[in-house]
Each structure stands twice: as structure tokens, then as C-alpha cells.
Amino acid sequence: MFKGSYVALITPMHDNGDVDYPALERLINFHIEQGTHGIVAVGTTGESPTLPFDEHVEVVRQTVKMVDKKIPVMAGAGANSTTEAIFLSEQMASVGVDGFLSVVPYYNKPQQAGMVAHFKAIADATDIPVVLYNVPGRTVADMQPETVAELSKHKNIVGIKDATGDLERLKEMQALVDSDFVFLSGDDATSCEFLCQGGHGVISVTANVVPNAIAKMCEAALNDDQLLCREIDKPINSLHTALFIEPNPVLPKWALYKMGMINSPNLRLPMVLPELASQKHIEELLKQHALLKG
């Protein structure tokens, strides 16, 4: 369950800020054709902080409908309020998602014991598998390996998306959990090595732009071909870096817009379009990777 390349899918929007559902369907079909193994709908890259609950749920509902069971769909369902996270999970439970991605509570900086209580309460409230999400660069709070180990004992908590970029952290967690617990990289720059050290897959921002390469990289690692995994990753390292020059998802959206995959690079405030220098940099890289003509 939840192995391989899962794209942290952007949420395309019209110039007026409304969700562009025809563009969303184009992106989903593109990922299915390119071999992406699964989709994460309305995570951070999908602008979950600025989609109200009803819109959040509707984007997930439409994603599940458009995917039509061809690949798994995981839904971003986190909040820094346990009550809100449970409510959001309950709202989405009936639309057919295969799993929930639930982030460490942000801003209020819970203790490790608070994290355990938070995620257990969420997992108790659903029969749908929950994947933990640790991204201290955004949340400030950092879930420790011992906390992950404690939560892994819950029957509904099946894995973690680790975005620390710390490969030693992976080793620490592997030593503390059962072998069926799933490790997904949430840091594109270190994802290749994460896979080579026993990770099961990625939840990737870069996969928005080069989905086939990320899927093939994961497949190579899962087939224990570390040499091929690294060979695939090497030429896209520049994309891993460039897509994060400005806060995600500013540049993934700009890249997809320039590639003709979406009609507008629009984001919800307080996110705005990239600086001109960033635009030019990403466009040059797209040309180098034959993703943009000219």
C-alpha cells in the first residue's frame, strides 16, 4: 500500500481564483498516462491552507471521480486543531479516498505527547488508512522517531511522509517500527537516497513536472536497482532545487503553465506569482529538459 511515486498535485485555478476542474482532469489524465502510481489531492502543494473545507472536500471528490480507481488517491486532511482534522476526515471519508495524509499540527507547537493524542484521535475516528506527515520546515514542530514508533502501533496509521531531508532520521525510524510500516519521502532533493536506503516511495512536488522520471526512479529502487535509480535522478536534480526557489507551489504552477498543462498560474493569496528572475530560471530549465519549446 502507498508505494512508488505519489504526486503532490497542484490545484489549478482560473484567473478569478476559482478551481479549474477541466484543467484538474487534464492533469490527472496526464499523470495516469505517465505512470504516476498515486495522487495526493489538496496537500500543501494543492494549497490546502487557502481552500475552505467545502471546497477542499469538493476538489478531493472530483479527483476521486476523475481518477476512477485507476490509481490510489490520498487526501490531505490535516489541521492544527484535532477537532477540525477529524471533521475534515469525516467529510471526505465517503468520497472514496484510499488514504489520508495528516500533517503535524502547525503553529501551536504541540508536545510529543500531544502529537500522539492528536493522531490517535484522528485514526480512531476513521477506518481509512492514515499517513503521518512530518515537515518541521513548515510546521516548526518536529515529530520524533519515538513518537512515530508509538503511533505506528495504531492499526489505522500505516506510514509517514518524512520531509525533514534527514536520512539518518529514516534509519532511526526504521529501527523502531514493524517492517510493514511505509516510509515516503517528502523531500525531492534527497528522495533518491531515501529510496535507496529502504524508503517505499515518494510524495513528490517534482513529479508535477516530470512524472514519468519520478515513477521510473521509484520503480528502479523498489526493484533494488540503485544504480538506475541514481541515474534517473541525476539529470532532474536541478528541477528538485529550482522548484523550491520560491515557496511551493509557486514555481510548480508556473512551470505547468508554461508547459501548457494549466490555463493560469494563479494562486490563492497570500501566495503570488514568482519573481521575474525565478520565472526565467525555471523556463530555462524546462527548455533544457525538452519540456518547453524555444
Q: Is 107 in the active site?
A: no
Indicate the burial class of 64 (C-beta count within 10 angstroms; 0-12, 13-18, 19 or more).
buried
Angle at 267 between CA 266 and CA 272, to 5 degrees: 95
Report residue 39 as a C-alpha cell.
Answer: 495522487
With beta carbons less than 8 A apart as the criterion, state whether 249 and 12 touch. Answer: no
Binding-site positions read: 45, 203
Q: Which residues are annotated as a binding site for pyruvate?
A: 45, 203
Q: Which residues of the chain form beta strands (DSSP E)? A: 4-8, 38-41, 73-76, 99-103, 130-134, 157-162, 182-185, 201-204
Q: What is the 3-state secondary structure (H, E, C) of 93-150?
A: HHHCCCEEEEECCCCCCCCHHHHHHHHHHHHHCCCCCEEEEECHHHHCCCCCHHHHHH
293 included as an active-site residue: no
Half-sphere exposure of 260 (CA within 13 A, CB side): 3
- Compute CA distances 155 → 72, 105, 129, 245, whole Å: 20, 21, 8, 38
Catalytic-labelled residue, pool 3, 6, 120, 133 = 133
Q: Which of 3, 161, 253, 258 is catalytic?
A: 161
CA distance 141 to 136: 5
- In sequence order, the β-bridge partners of residue 203 are 6
List active site positions.
133, 161
